[in-house]
Amino acid sequence: MKNLSKIVVAAVAAVSTIAVASAASAQTVSPTGPVTVSGQLTQGLNGISLFDTVCNTTFTGVADATGFTLNTITSTRVSGILSCDDGIVLPVRINAISSSQLSIEELVVDTRLGSCSGTDIAVPWDNVNSRVTVPTTAIGFCRLSGTLTVSPATTIN
């Protein structure tokens, strides 16, 4: 029992150190407040391009000092056969890692075939154009890519 408590204390200390290091390296997002994030997303199934669907997508949410929380989504199909108006489970939390990178905390996409999910998904951020690019990212058996612009123009320092 004594060894177990030493292990627990060591684990708590390690987690605390990681949390302090993460907080110290956090970036500042400005301005804060309501945001609109819009652009095109392409969704599909891994390895099956037949189902690729392009959607004009708009998220609304809030920017805070450390990132974004997206609370609503509207999406219209441009091409393809998949639905654009559902699937992404909200809210989605996106953390500012650096002036050129964001991290999606957890992304869950519900489909007729089941749920796809991923955590800590790194995505490039363009400070000059207030734009995030989602490179072709596999999330379980799903695939997502696209470019979204944040309005009002947002800077991460």
Q: Is residue 126 part of a domain?
A: yes
pTM, two decimal places? 0.81
Q: Is residue 122 part of a domain?
A: yes
Q: Is residue 75 part of a domain?
A: yes
C-alpha distances in angstroms, 52 versus 42, 88, 134? 7, 16, 15
Q: Is residue 8 part of a domain?
A: no
Number of domains the chain is built from: 1
What confidence score (pLDDT) does residue 1 get?
40
C-alpha distances in angstroms, 76 versus 57, 131, 143, 146? 7, 20, 18, 14
Instruction: Determine contact, residues 151/36, Cβ cutoff 8 Å.
Output: yes
**DSSP state at residue 28:** -
Q: What is the DSSP track for 45-93?
A: ETTEEEEEEEEEEEEEEEEETTEEEEEEEEEEEEESSS-SSS-B-S-EE
Domain range for 89 = 27-156
Q: Is residue 94 part of a domain?
A: yes
Tracing tokens 């627990």 back to the chain, one arrives at 8
Q: Is residue 19 part of a domain?
A: no
What confidence score (pLDDT) does residue 25 get?
54
pLDDT (tens, 9 = 90+) of the chain, 157 residues, equals 433 333 333 333 333 333 333 444 568 999 999 999 999 999 998 888 888 999 999 999 999 999 999 999 999 999 998 888 778 999 999 999 999 999 999 999 888 888 899 999 999 999 999 999 999 989 989 999 999 999 999 999 9
Count CB neighbours of 25 within 10 A: 9
Q: Is residue 139 part of a domain?
A: yes
Q: Is residue 4 part of a domain?
A: no
Query: Which of 50, 116, 110, 48 has the alpha carbon at shortest distance from 80?
Result: 50
